[in-house]
Amino acid sequence: MIKLFIKLNLVSFLFLSSMVQATLLHVDNDKLSSNEYITQNYLGINYDITWASNENTERKYLSLQEYNILLSPTTHLGQRWGFAGKDNLPEIADLFLGLTGQELVSLFTNDNDGSFIHSFSHWNTLFTEPDTNSIVGGAYNLEQLNYRSQWSWSIPLVDDNIGQSQYQEIVNVDGFGYATFYVRKTEVTAVPEPSTLMIFSIALIALASRKKLVS
């Protein structure tokens, strides 16, 4: 009887602890929806890629008082987004290898309504949509294959008193800016449902009780 009691308590403890773990996996309220990123296969592994911004600097000044801040990929905890080329993530150029500008635009275009697949509102404090009316912005960055993942420059640009080398890091020689993409490795973690754990627990209890009766 004592052994049965111990087994019953052990099973109950495992059941409750597993329920707590399942709950913790769903605390992130800022998770991107499936229409805000695409998935590409690279060397047999799937990676999610999100178009985070038309900017590639931490701050983009529209005036001395108004500017956009590009947030880092780890701003939203628990989503595993990161800079391509860091932390064992492939380079963004490798993920887009072989694609033309038009093909890249097509990848990030919604087939249903022709809108862009992006997540600007998650990573920018001011810019929420691609600017399709500007040469430096919108799909033009993608058409010209001007994209990066890691930021080119992070020091605020308050005026035009910057060196030519710094400027070339932010805007290329043709006058186009760089789009920013964040990447994460696609991982599917199976979480046991409470009902499945309960059935398993009942089966263990029944098995223990049967052995007790037979003996």
Q: Are residues 118 and 198 in the same domain?
A: no
Residue 82: its pLDDT value, please?
A: 96
Count of structural domains within the chain: 2
Beta bridge partners of 50: 182
45-53 sheet: strands from edge to edge: 38-42, 45-53, 179-185, 147-148
Does 15 reside within a domain? yes
- Res 49: pLDDT: 97
Both 120 and 181 in one domain: the answer is yes
Q: What range does the domain containing 195 cover? A: 2-25+191-214
pTM score, whole prediction: 0.70
Q: Give yes or no: residues 73 and 176 share one domain.
A: yes
Instruction: Give me the residue label for tokens 């006058």.
Output: 175
129/197 same-domain check: no
Do 186 and 40 contact (CB within 8 A), yes or no? no
Query: Are 176 and 195 contained in the same domain?
Result: no
Does the pLDDT at position 48 exceed 70? yes
Q: 49-91 pLDDT, tens per residue? A: 999 999 898 988 888 889 999 999 999 878 899 999 999 999 9
Is 31 inside a domain boundary? no
Q: Are residues 10 and 54 in the same domain?
A: no
The answer to whether residues 93 and 195 belong to one domain is: no
User: Do 10 and 59 fall within a single domain?
Assistant: no
Structure confidence by residue, pLDDT tens digits, 174-200: 777 899 999 999 865 444 444 444 555
Chain Cα centroid distance, residue 40: 13
Least confident of 8-17, 60-69, 94-103, 124-133: 8-17
Specify the pLDDT at position 206: 60
